[in-house]
């Protein structure tokens, strides 16, 4: 929640920022509040919908990731919880916030997530290691040139991707509420892919470069704790869908990070 509030506060004075943040959390709007309720029922539901949409639109990639223990809870949780502020550039996350406000719904989060996976599909299919796949999904977007992030946003905001209405058993449990139906799309003006260095027309992007460093620092500080929380969530939600080998690989990776920090 702090990432979403921070994105708004970076560009908007406190009073209107509070109003915008309230709109983002409201059940009559994007309803991001459901992601942060006790039990994370809303987040679990969104991840289930995302998984089913991947199965529908990218079955080969979804099966490849599942075989290697890389399930949506491990990489997409931080996308939805932070409105893509982690691990993507601030300018990217601000366009997502623009989309949430313009459409007055949260379907844009699923479309952006699917557009990212489509952009990464060829690279991910070439990798066959749990740690390599997860690291790619967490780190690779930070290296993308501007035209790739604009291509993802254009596909998400102006594409014709059919999300349908994914019925998920237990959708009303723990206060998650019913699965929201698709909302009428409000087309957003996409950037011209031929002009890689042209600025985005989104008003929230004006000061993005000035805050990238601060957000990167926050990401680094929260990364380890966040992934530990996600693994725990996976255990509670699925009974441990991540394989023992995958968990061991993650523990080995985490131990290496701690050793490097100690050195």
Sort 10 into a burial class: Cβ within 10 Å, 0-12 / 13-18 / 19+. Answer: middle
The predicted pLDDT at position 184 comes to 44
Range of the domain at 220: 2-262
- Please spell the DSSP secondary structure of 122-144, one letter per residue: HHHHT---HHHHHHHHHHGGGG-
Distance CA 156, CA 116 (A): 9
CATH number at residue 233: 1.10.472.80
Count of domains forming the chain = 1
Along the chain (263 residues), what's the average pLDDT of each consecutive run of 10 residues? Answer: 88 91 93 93 95 96 96 95 90 93 94 96 95 93 91 87 52 43 43 43 45 51 53 52 48 53 53
Distance CA 98, CA 198 (A): 18
- Please spell the DSSP secondary structure of 62-75, one letter per residue: HHHHHHTT--HHHH
Of 137, 166, 146, 152, give the one whose Cα is nearest residue 72: 137
The predicted pLDDT at position 173 comes to 40
């Amino acid at each position: 929640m702090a990432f979403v509030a921070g994105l708004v506060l970076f560009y908007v004075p406190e009073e209107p920022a509070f109003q915008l943040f309230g709109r983002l959390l409201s059940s009559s709007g994007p309803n991001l509040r459901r992601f942060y309720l006790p039990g994370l029922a809303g987040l679990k539901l969104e991840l289930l919908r995302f998984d089913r949409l991947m199965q529908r639109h990218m079955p080969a990639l979804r099966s490849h990731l599942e075989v290697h223990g890389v399930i949506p809870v491990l990489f997409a949780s931080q996308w939805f919880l932070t409105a893509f502020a982690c691990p993507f550039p601030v300018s990217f996350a601000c366009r997502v916030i623009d989309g949430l406000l313009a459409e007055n719904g949260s379907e844009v989060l699923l479309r952006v997530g699917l557009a990212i996976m489509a952009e990464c599909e060829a690279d991910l299919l070439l990798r066959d290691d749990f740690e390599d796949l997860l690291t790619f999904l967490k780190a690779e977007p930070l290296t993308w040139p501007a035209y790739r992030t604009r291509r993802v946003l254009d596909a998400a905001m102006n594409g014709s991707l059919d999300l349908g209405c994914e019925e998920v058993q237990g959708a009303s449990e723990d206060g998650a509420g019913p699965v929201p139906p698709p909302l009428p799309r409000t087309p957003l003006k996409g950037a011209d892919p031929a002009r890689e260095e042209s600025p985005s027309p989104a008003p929230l992007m004006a000061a993005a470069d000035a805050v990238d460093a601060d957000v990167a620092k926050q990401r680094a500080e929260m990364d380890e704790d966040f992934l530990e929380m996600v693994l725990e969530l996976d255990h509670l939600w699925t009974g441990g869908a991540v394989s023992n080998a995958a968990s061991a690989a993650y523990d080995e990776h985490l131990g290496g990070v701690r050793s490097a920090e100690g050195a």
